[in-house]
Structure 1
Amino acid sequence: MTSSPLKTKRQQSWEDQLHETSIYVKTHGAIPQKGHRLRDWLNRQRNERREGRLPDHKRTQLDEKIPGWPGFRLDENWMNRIDGIARTYPVGQVPKSAGRDYSWLAFQRRQHSLGRLSTDKVRMLDSKLPLWKDGCTGKTLPWADSLLSVLDVFTSTGKLPCRDSKAGRWLSEQRRHARSGKLGSQRQRELDEKLPGWEFTQHSLWAVRLSELAGTPEVETLPTSHQLRKWLQKQRWHLKNGSITTERQRLLDAAYSNWRSM
């Protein structure tokens, strides 16, 4: 039959275009721009998928070579903006001072810290502007600088900074952001790892009770202090209802390992 060679050629052409498209995506961190022949080819695959005409073996190859291909889209204006910044600044540099480009990148960083920047956009930024998360070449973000200041106090004194200090005011701001849900998951994880107990103030009642508990000899029964017994019962109630944070559980375990079972 003459159709077999024709099928083979079509299949080979399809696989060649798949390979070219996957290389393009890996290189640029995005799908080909509008008007590109590979963009047209990928759109045809999407249309066939929506209409149920795309064979399973082709869909499998697309999934393997271009993960997320059915919805792999970036806003055209967004892509043009990042391309313009990449052309303006030498490789390894980003805007350093106030201006439209600086403000635009600052907004991308805020969206990323809040978990609102798509994986496609992060990949594109990493590809075009490797230092975009730092804000300027060779420097760390103000947030990271502030965290380092707090860590310096904590390391040298063993205590969190007082609320009237610059570092203390910054830490209070992070607590407010955490309570209102505005602190990004990445920043909260970094604070949890580097600064245990950061979420409550140095003089909060919870911290005072934890300190008292840490100084109590461990026994098989509850502590003799009436206040501590009531406080521990409340912590177990929160544990049962899933309303106590993992960090507080860790601190309680370190202070009084039997607190869960009494």
Structure 2
Amino acid sequence: MTQARRTAPDPEWVLMYRRGISTPKIAATAGVAETTVRYHLAIAARQEPAIRAEHQQALPKSPQRLTDAGRRNLDDIIAFYQAEGRLPTKRSAREKALTAWLHRRRQEAAQGTLSPTYAEALKAIPGWSNPSTKKTDDEARWKQRLAQVSAYRAAGNEWPRHNKTQDQSERVLGVWLHVQRMNDRAAKLDAAKREQLDDVIPGWRQGGPRRSPKSRPSSPRVPSPSSPM
């Protein structure tokens, strides 16, 4: 039984080609010679030249190779986020370079060519694939500070101070906590944030007086048997 002659260009083969399927694979699927498929596609390309570009665009992308500079940028991006609670912007030359590097990774992620190593490591930065705004940066920093205060307390420390301390890390956390308390007293604190504060660091509103050797209460003096009662 002879195979029915197909009208060129065959629409099914053209559609497969548009989707990035190679000519040999189309021929194998259809059970015809590869030259036959090429003939049909050549006619289709004369009628609509854009199908060549569509085919190239639909081809599977190969992940980008990692370079030493790329690894350094990756480490710097993550370290920056952990320290600042935000993504880099254009405030300094180094931040500009990291911003440009991250922009290229976003493009690769959208195209499906992002290195799996980058993709896995960047999970440490929530929402990294979306361009940041001041609002998203502020939200990320707020959550970062909440987690840092929680860890600070879990380590056995008292509430961080916003003044009267030489420890810069403590001062940063203390200022943040002081602002949350002021906003709460002024009824300016978001209800969702207040709930998170209550859940993660209970007692944050009141804090507590910091004890020192001078302020600690002395043990009550036990009267001697001869003392008057």
- Bigger proportion of residues as helix: 1
TM-score range, shorter chain: 0.3 to 0.5
What is the TM-score when the length of structure 1 is the normalising length? 0.31
